[in-house]
Amino acid sequence: MIYLQLFWAYLNIGIFGFGGGYAMLSMIQFEIVEHYQWISAEEFADIVALSQMTPGPISINMATFTGYTVGGFWGSLIATASLVLPSLLMLYFVLKMLFKHKDNYIVKSTLSLMKPVIAGLIFVAALLMMNAGNFTDFGLHQNNISVIICALTFVGVFWAKINPILLIIASGIVGYLVY
C-alpha cells in the first residue's frame, strides 16, 4: 500500500513538476509531510539540507531519501523511478509536438502564467516549514537564535549570493555551538 502511495505521489510530481527543483520540492513537501504525514517538517528540513549538500539533482535526492525513510530500499527505488517515468514517457510526445510549436502563443502564455503560481507554491513550502519544530527557540523570552540563523541565511543567499552549501555548514556549526 505504501509503495502504491509513493508511486502515485511521485508520478504526479513528475507529471506536474513545472518550474525546477524548488517548485518540485514544494510539491514533495506537500505530499510527504502535509498530505500523507509520513515525516515531520523537521525531518523534511534535514532531508533538504542533506540533499542540497550531496551531488546530483535535488529532487532526485529528495525522492530517494524520502522514499527510503518511508518504505526502505524498495521505497527509495519506487519513488525515484516514479518521478523520472513521466519524463521518459513524454519524450516522444514532446519531440513530435513541442519542438514544432515552441513559439506557439498558447504554449508561451501558459508557461508565463505558471510562473507567479510557482512562486506562490515555493513560498507556501517555506511558510509550512516555519513551525515550532524548525524554530525550537522561537518565543518572547527566548534567545531566538533560530530566527537569526534564518534571517542571516536569507541575506546570505538572496543578496550576497553565497553558496547554499557553505550556509548549511555554517548553520550546523552555529547549532553545535549554541544548543
Q: Which of residues 27-56 bind another protein (CB under 8 A)?
A: 27, 30-31, 34-35, 42, 45-46, 48-56
CB 171 within 8 A of CB 154: no
Asked whether position 153 contacts another protein by CB under 8 A, the answer is yes
CA distances to 2, 30, 95, 178 from 126, in Å:
26, 11, 35, 24
CB of 64 to another protein, least distance (A): 4
Residue 132 touching another protein (CB under 8 A): no
Q: How far is residue 150's CA from residue 135's CA, in Å, rounded to a whole number?
A: 9
173 binds another protein (CB under 8 A): yes
Q: Which of 71, 126, 141, 143 binds another protein (CB under 8 A)?
A: 126
How far, in Å, are 42, 136, 148, 157, 179 from residue 151 at the CA level?
18, 15, 5, 10, 18
Residue 97 in the binding site for another protein (CB under 8 A): no
Report in angstroms how near the CB of residue 130 gets to another protein at its nearest.
6
